Every structure is written in structure tokens, then in C-alpha cells.
Structure 1
Amino acid sequence: MRGFLFISALCAATLVGHAQTKPKKAAPAPQKETTTVTNDGYNIPVTITPLKNCWVYIGCYYGKFRNVVDSAWMDENSKAVFSGKAKLPGGIYFLVSPRHTILSEFLMDDVQKFSVATDTLHPDQVVITGSAENALYQKYTSFLAKKGPELTALQNQLKDAHTAADTARIREQLTAGNKELNDYRDTLVNQNPNSMLALFLNAIKQPEPPPAPKLANGRIDSLFPARYVKEHYWDNIPLHDDRLLRTPFFDDHKLEPYLKYYVRPEPDSVIEDINYILLSSRAGKDMFKYLLGRFTDKYINPEIMGQDKVFIFLFNNYFSKGDTLWLSTKQKEYIFNRAYSLMANQIGEQAAVLDLVDTSGKPSPMYAQKAPFTFVLFWDPNCGHCKEMVPRIDSMYEAKWKAKGIKIYAVNIDEKANDAWKKYIKDNHLKGWLHVYQTKEQRDADVANGRANYRQLYDVFQTPTMYLLDDQKRIIAKKLSLEQFDEVMSAKKKTDSK
């Protein structure tokens, strides 16, 4: 089915967001009910049958999160009033039960004086009065309530089809049903182009590529559809509109698929795409803030090696330029420290100098070691994971790497454990490695001269931490599995031999 039906089974979902204000525990003092406020702010009387004498809430979506934004006391007549002096940001909101489950959804547009009536047994049968946007929204959801199950049933029938004739018949019905749904959406958008619903329907709409052209050799360009979708993915979507952020579909069903399927994993490609998104969203206060945080979380400790370069780009172009005044002191400190730790160990860059001493106290500089590859290991003899990994590294070294002239430069990060370190080396017969550590005098000299410590230069905040350097001591891999490091060496040798 083209697009995404954002009115679905959310009514049964459990609220996972955190309230912005602490929920009240006791009933408030009796007050005279009022439904009038100034022109500013919001006033939303609600009726939720059969709830009585309890606290209820309204919440909104916020990217991947759901947040409670206000609470109200429900009286013995199942009535409550949500009100505030400042208007709420636009988007899709929902009523929340005392058990923090989502009941009914509604739109929050600029007109924030309307009433909502629903029933906990039938939360989909919500009645909203006094809001033109919600009247349109209800009309659309009523259509979906009928059409959605029909299409779902056809999809299930298609899975169970046993003959080619049945498959063809069901596919034809699905095509017709999808066309009816999309035509209905298009009609709503064309008739109400300035509505919030039109904004959302345009946002969930997927680009539909025309027939693929032929290449010079006469073959159909098989990559054209994906290329077309990417080029037109954000058409008619105002990324600066904060209302899109307060929907259940923007991140999970729009942004995440784009990052997963249409952005190449190479850091430079990622940087180009997310920078376009950030620049396009900059006029939206909340959207820009959310997206910058979202991308920072994704690339500060990336799943794919080398993508921390994306975080460095974000730091240099946004964080270091003062575009993040909303961050706390602790958040700024973490981001700045993380950036400085990653800048010195980017893939393709020259490895930082390591002038350390061996087990006998003799200087053993890393750059003095000549080898086609240098495997740099930062470890601790008292680290449980290190005790598992080091023997595996030695097995790989003895079986393959030693004969190829590969050097292991192994750094003990805890000079206070030197006796345990030397004993471990001896007991496990770690021969042929370059075993080194930094003396207290060397560390003090770094501090006195304002030099960065190797822990920062190599981002050593957990053990073991591993790097692979080429013959010029450039970083070609880091923080991979042992087998992946070996594969990188093999691939590099094949590339260099061509």
C-alpha cells in the first residue's frame, strides 16, 4: 500500500514518553467549571466515558517519542478541562488514560478551543466539536476505518493464494483499492491545500518514478527508480514545519527509511544528505533541534566503521559554532570531549605518535616499527574482555600475521598493574609482540606541556581498543572484530597488488 496509514492500532499502545510535569496524585479542590479563556492559550473540555474521579492526560508525538504535556482531573460526570495560557505546538495529539495508555487522537492546530468526547471501549469513535481541522481529520479516519481492513484482508488473501488465477484476481482488487485510497487522499489535499491534514498526507506520500529510460547500450536503467525516489523524496515536504515532528510517522516511516535505503553508507555521502536535511529544517526551532540531536546520537558511536566522521562534521559545522544553545553544560562537555577524541583517529589519517617504553623500560616508538601492517592494541591485564581477546589475537598472529611481517604494538593502559601485565605476557607466551606502556614521567610530561594523552588521541575509553595501520602508519580500520581486521588486510593487499 502506498504511503502510511498513521491512524492505526496506536489506541492500544502503552505510553512510553515521560511527562513534562509530574502527574498529580490527589484530587484538586472543587472549582467552578469554565470553558472560556483569553484569545491566547488552549481550552479543551473532554468527556471520557466511563472514567470518573481520576487524572487523565493529553500527550503528543515527538519524533520517536511520546510525551505527556498536560493533566486534568476527571470529575464524577466523566468530564475534564485541559487549559493553559500559552498555545500548544501544532501536531497530532492524543488522550491518555490513568493507566497511561493512548485512547483517541486529534489534531492540534491554531484553533485550540474545541471539545472531545470518547469512550474507553470505543476510542476510535471520538467526537470532536468546534474544530474544522478535526472535522476533516475525522472524515479521513472514518474512510480509513472502512478501507484499511479491506486492504489488509486482501493482502492476507494474497499470501494464501494457491493458484495463479487467484493471485491475479486479488492483485487486481488490491490495485483498485489502493487507487481508491490514493485518489481519496489526493482529493482531500486538492480541496484543502492549506490544512494540516494536507501537510501530513503530502509528507507520507512516496515519490512514484515514471518508466525507467534506456541506457546507451539499449538496456533499461535498473537504478533509475531508486535514484528518482531519492531525488524527489523530500519534494513538497517543508522540513522546517515543526508540526511534522509531532506525528507518529515522520521519524519511523519517513526519515529512518530514507537513511536506511537511500543514503549511501560512505561518510561523505551521509554528510551531504544529512546536511541538506539540517539546512532545510533550520527555520524550524524544534525540528532542527531534534534532527541535530538525532544525527548526533546516530553517528557519535556509529554502527559502521568510519561514520564517526559524520559526527565530526556536525561538531565542526554546528556545535562548535554555537548553534546549540539549548544544550546543558554537561551535554556540551560530553560532545566537545567526544569530538576532540575522535578528530585524531579518523580513517585515512596519520596515526598519532606513540613513544612508549617496553617491559624493560627501553623506548619502543611505534613509528620505528617497519611493517606492512601494524595492529595497535590498547588493553588491561585485569580486564575480563581483554583476557578473552588477547589469546585470540595471538592465535591469529601465530597462524597468519607473523609470517606476513605484521607487527602487534600492544599498549598496557594501566601502569599500576605492570606486575600483572608482565606475568600475563609470560604465562600466555605472547612472543613477537611489542609490549609497551606509558610511564608516570611520560604522562606528567604530557600534562606539563599541554599535549593530548594517547587515551584521547586514540579514543581509549574502554578495553580492548584496536586499530589497524598501513605501512605508512595511516589508520585503515578501527574497532572491528578480529576477523574483520584480518579481512581488511587481505582486501588491502589485493587492492595494492593490482
Structure 2
Amino acid sequence: MANNPRVFLFLLMLGFSLTQAQAKNNVAPEEPDGYQISITLSPLKNCWVHLHSYYGKYAQLIDSAWLDENSKGLFKGTTKLTGGFYYVSPPLKNHSFEFLVGDQQHFSVKADTAHPEKLVIKGSADNIPFLQYNNYVQENTPRLKALQARWKGATNAADSIRYHSEWEKLYKALFDYRETIEQQYPESMFTMFLQSLKMPQPPPTPVLPDGRKDSLFAARYIKAHYWDQVPLHDNRLLHTPPAFFEDKIEHYFRYYVVPDADTLISEVNYLLLASRAGKDMFKYLLGRFTDKYINPEIMGHDKVFIFLFNEYFSKGDTTWLSTRQKQYIFDRAYSLMANQIGEAAAPLNLLDTAGKQAAIYSINAPFTFLVFWDPNCGHCKEMIPRIDSIYQHKWKNQGIGLYAVNVDEKVLDEWKKYITTHHLTGWVHAYQPKADKEEDAKAGRANYRQLYDVFQTPTLYLLDRDKHIIGKKLSLEQFDQVMQAKMNKQANQVR
């Protein structure tokens, strides 16, 4: 019964940056000359080749060109392309090759699928440093790989040390050459891209008053200076292979950001504010973080999405969204606001199997396990007996309460039969009659589906004694671990 919108949300939000895709579709040109890239790609003839752009971790098809009998073709459009890395993909995609598109967008490219080192680009100053660096890498990569193989395959320590030393020298030479390119072309787009790759280099580690070295200094320094050479407002950075930007974001959040919701909110907001001057970059990052936290993998991280909604979506900062997209995001936000970790659970005053009121706040227990389920749901039929097993053998003796809501009032007989057949005793079993649902709707009151984000079954929550939410959407084993850890902590505090 699950409905997972994650698959399409990010791309819907982005609209996949239609600037390039519209270039050939009746869009008024930003500049009169647009782009015109002539290509000669030997030995291919009489076939289509395609021009792609990177877009964060995605790729965009920008244009297509037909190669004639002379292996010549033309990519042409009336709107200038956003600067960055582009690549041509022939029928055999493993033969694709890259080049830069900068301010000069009328140039020629000559390549050979069998000899990538013979790439020639004329009429584009932005590609001069790129080709120099690319040729150097093409020349030395085989040597690096050979030395690495010898180093790893060495049969004695002396050879291992020798090959490793030679490999390190060649690897360092690669970085030294990169520095040379940056010094020769300090204002080039390619230099900007190379600088964005760099990790901050900490100064010598200071000594603490007690004489020890500060072991955390390097990590703090790198985090504080991580984005110094990354122009987050520059849309061109989006149009680079993932290593230049997307992987850098992943690395930062994985190794330098404490994964609690409040810290994540601070870091996400910094990146969004820093990228605000770049329309495409801001749109990309907002979409990326929304996609990650709207249905997060870690409990409590949906708080980040709630922040994004309150700070950006609800203030009208996302005019590029369609009515459908806005409706989905607003609905998700309203469904999550009422069930955040640490907040009081919404009251549930439903009817039990005998038709009597059963209020969840009337349960006096150190913890209350809350289940929304459907007796005809296959996953529920697997999960409910497992919950009852741990309840009867462990939780019941610990005084833990169990409140279960049947989400389908049309199958009351099947619901009651399931409860009886599986001996689900000690639980509070409840449901909301159709008439009560309709009354809530007429009065404009949020129903339990919205208050508890119940759009798939089973949906599980854990509440503390005061009915504050302390766990949701975990595995059964994880819920048990949370309870046992809290009970152990309380026991230690009493001693």
C-alpha cells in the first residue's frame, strides 16, 4: 500500500533546467548568435551523435547532430549554453569525450574514437588549459596504473617500496601540473573548476595547554574552510562531472557534518543562502535537499524538510513549481508537521471493537506503541503477529501499552475476526467510523491520516509516558532497542 513519491520529486522540481532543452524550440534567443559547435568524429559516418551536459549527478541531452559521409556534423541552437563541461556521445557510448563550453560558443571539435588523446578544439580559449591538462593526464595515466599494479603485485618489500615511491612521485607530478595550469590561466573557467576540487590544507597542528596536540584541529579547519574556493552561486559549477561538485557535497555531509536534524538544517541553509545569486544552483540545491529529507532514511531528519518548507516553499520562493508539485510538497509538509520527534502526539479518541470511546491519552504506560494497520494489507498480516509476539513475551510484562488503529472502517467484520483469530489480547483496538470522518472533513479538522502521516500500512510510532513521539518508521527491533535503552537510562538515574 506504499506510495513512494521520491522517485520523481527531484526531477519535477528542477524541470531539468530547461534553458538548454529549449534552445531549439522557439525560444527567443538571449544573444543573436547562440551556439554553433562543428564536429568531426572519425571514423563514424552516417549516424547520429548527441551532445550532453552534466547537471549535478544527472546528465542532460542538449542536442543531436547527424554525421555525414565525411564524419562531420553540427550542433546549433539560438540560445547560448550555460558554461561548463559537455560531452559528445556517439553510438558506442564508451567512446564519449568531453570539452568545455564557455563564452565563445562558435568553435570546432575534431576527435577520433580510437585515439582520445588526439582531441583538437579550435576557436575556444576556454579549452586551451583543459586540453593541456587532459593531454598530460592521458599521457601519464597508463604509467600510473602500471606502477600501481607492480606495487600491489610486488613479491618482496624492496620492490613494493620502490614501485610505491615511483607511483607517489608521478601522482604528485600530476597535482603539480594542475597547479601550473592554474598559475598560467588564473582567470579561466577551467581553473575555477580545478580549484573547486581542492581540499583545504590545515596549517601545523597547535599544541594544547597540557602539551598534547589538538587531534581535532585538522577536521575543524577543513570544515571551516571547505567551501572557500567553491563559488556556490556560479551556475557553471553544476555543469561539471560529479567529482567537481556533487561528490564534494556528499563528502562534506558524510565526514564533516554531525547528522542531527538541527545541525543539518544549519548546513543546508548556509548552502542555499550562498547559492541564492545563482538561480539554477539554488534551484538544484533546494531540489536536492528536499528530495533527500522529504522521506529521509534516518528518523527525525524530516525536520529538515519542514524547515525547507517554512523557510522557502511557503514564502513563495519556488515560482518554477507547477500547481501539482506545490500541492504535493504542501501536503507532505502538513502531514509531517504534527508528528515530529519530540512533539506531543495528536489525540486519538476513536471507537473500540465494542463501540466505546478509546482515547490514546488514557493509556497509563511508560511507553505506548501505536500501530495503524489494515486487516487486508499483506505487509500488515506479516507484521501484526510479530508485534503481538514481542508484546506478549516482553512488552506486556514491562507495562508497555499498545494502541492499534484499523484504517479501513469498511472491513469491520474482517478486522474483528482477525483480532479474535490471532488472539490479539491486551491491545487497545480502535477505528474511526465513516460518519466521524465526514464530520471532521466538514469541520475542516485534520484527520488521523494527516496528523500521523498514514499513507501506507503499517505505520508505527513509539510514544513516551507523556505521549511525546520518540520513534517512528523504524523496524520492530529498533523500536524495542529504543525502549530498552531509555528504560536502562531511567534505571541508572534512579540508582
TM-score normalised over the length of structure 2: 0.90
Specify the SS of the correspondent of 2:314: helix
5+ residue gaps, structure 1? 1-16, 25-37
2:432 aligned partner: 438
1:404 aligned partner: 398
How far apart in 2 are the matches of 1:162 and 1:467? 58
Specify the SS of the correspondent of 2:96: strand
**1:322-471 pair list within 5 angstroms:** 322-471=316-465
* Equivalent in 249, 255, 263 of residue 261 of structure 1: 255
How far apart in 2 are the matches of 1:344 and 1:43? 54
Deviation, structure 1 residue 432? 0.2
1:144 aligned partner: 137
2:279 aligned partner: 285
Q: Work out whether 1:61 is the aligned partner of 2:54.
A: yes
Percent identical residues: 59
1:119 aligned partner: 112
1:47 aligned partner: 40
2:487 aligned partner: 493
Specify the SS of the correspondent of 1:83: strand
Specify the SS of the correspondent of 2:361: helix
After TM superposition, the structure 1 stretch with the greater mean CA deviation from structure 2, 167-176 or 470-479, is 167-176
How far apart in 2 are the matches of 1:350 and 1:423? 33
* Equivalent in 167, 170, 177 of residue 174 of structure 1: 167
Specify the SS of the correspondent of 1:318: helix
How far apart in 1 are the matches of 2:266 and 2:160? 43
5+ residue gaps, structure 2? 1-16, 26-30
Specify the SS of the correspondent of 1:378: strand
CA deviations 1:258-316 (Å, max 9, x no partner) are 12222211001111111111111111111111111011111111111100000001111
Pick closer, same or farther for the CA change 1:460–1:274 going to 2, 3 Å. same
Deviation, structure 1 residue 209? 2.3
How far apart in 1 are the matches of 2:141 and 2:45? 33
How far apart in 2 are the matches of 1:152 and 1:101? 19
Pick closer, same or farther for the CA change 1:100–1:328 going to 2, 3 Å. farther
Q: Is the CA contact (8 Å cut-off) linking 1:378 and 1:463 kept in structure 2?
A: yes
Q: Is the CA contact (8 Å cut-off) linking 1:374 and 1:409 kept in structure 2?
A: yes
How far apart in 2 are the matches of 1:166 and 1:53? 51
CA deviations 1:209-267 (Å, max 9, x no partner) are 23333334433332222222211111111011111100112344211111222221100
2:300 aligned partner: 306
Deviation, structure 1 residue 445? 1.8
How far apart in 1 are the matches of 2:399 and 2:252? 44
Deviation, structure 1 residue 99? 5.5
Q: Is the CA contact (8 Å cut-off) linking 1:104 and 1:124 kept in structure 2?
A: no
Q: Work out whether 1:79 is the aligned partner of 2:63.
A: no
Q: Work out whether 1:231 is the aligned partner of 2:220.
A: no
How far apart in 1 are the matches of 2:132 and 2:120? 11
What is the alpha-carbon root mean square deviation over aligned residues? 2.1
How far apart in 1 are the matches of 2:91 and 2:175? 37
How far apart in 2 are the matches of 1:198 and 1:178? 19
TM-score normalised over the length of structure 1: 0.90
How far apart in 2 are the matches of 1:481 and 1:357? 27
**1:17-28 pair list within 5 angstroms:** 20=21
Aligned residues: 469
Pick closer, same or farther for the CA change 1:431–1:409 going to 2, 3 Å. same
Structure scoring higher RCO (CA < 8 A, sep ≥ 6) equals 2
Q: Is the CA contact (8 Å cut-off) linking 1:21 and 1:70 kept in structure 2?
A: no
Q: Is the CA contact (8 Å cut-off) linking 1:49 and 1:118 kept in structure 2?
A: yes
Deviation, structure 1 residue 164? 4.1
Deviation, structure 1 residue 85? 1.6
Tell me which amino acid in the other structure corresponds to 2:271.
Answer: I
Tell me which amino acid in the other structure corresponds to 1:112.
Answer: Q
Pick closer, same or farther for the CA change 1:154–1:226 going to 2, 3 Å. farther
Pick closer, same or farther for the CA change 1:449–1:302 going to 2, 3 Å. same
Deviation, structure 1 residue 361? 0.5
How far apart in 1 are the matches of 2:103 and 2:79? 11
Q: Work out whether 1:478 is the aligned partner of 2:472.
A: yes
How far apart in 1 are the matches of 2:200 and 2:320? 35
* Equivalent in 175, 180, 183 of residue 176 of structure 2: 183
Q: Work out whether 1:160 is the aligned partner of 2:122.
A: no
How far apart in 2 are the matches of 1:427 and 1:215? 68
CA deviations 1:360-382 (Å, max 9, x no partner) are 10000000111000000000000
Deviation, structure 1 residue 384? 0.5
Specify the SS of the correspondent of 1:114: strand
Tell me which amino acid in the other structure corresponds to 2:467.
Answer: K
2:100 aligned partner: 107
